[in-house]
Amino acid sequence: MTNMDNNEAKILQDAELKMVNGGAARPISSRKIEKGIIAIISKKFNVPASTINMNTTWDDLSADSLDVVDVVSSIEEEFEYKKPTNPIKTIGDLLP
């Protein structure tokens, strides 16, 4: 592996598996992030978490653009990461 490959892998790992906790980073699983995203959306839209999955669309939730911004902000705050710049069409698009 080249240095660039190592750096890219480190950046990807940091983006996907780190959450800051009192200044100390600790790994967090993708599944835990997924559950957290579902919990945030469940609370925001007052729907059972069991009805939400990574293929759920914003239309499924009757969400408008302000709802999406609110959810993204909550997720960024909760998990201390910035959402990738790809379009957010499904809940799965929120995963780092």
pLDDT of residue 26: 55
Per-residue pLDDT of the chain (96 residues; tens, 9 = 90+): 444 455 555 554 454 444 444 444 555 677 888 999 999 999 999 999 999 999 999 999 999 989 998 998 998 888 877 776 778 899 988 887
pLDDT of residue 30: 79
Distance CA 5, CA 85 (A): 21
Residue 47 and residue 91 in contact, taking contact as beta carbons nearer than 8 Å: no
In order of 44, 70, 89, the CA distances from 14 in angstroms are 27, 24, 24
Residue 57 and residue 92 in contact, taking contact as beta carbons nearer than 8 Å: no
Question: Which tokens hold the place of 78?
Answer: 């909760």
The SS3 of residue 87 is coil
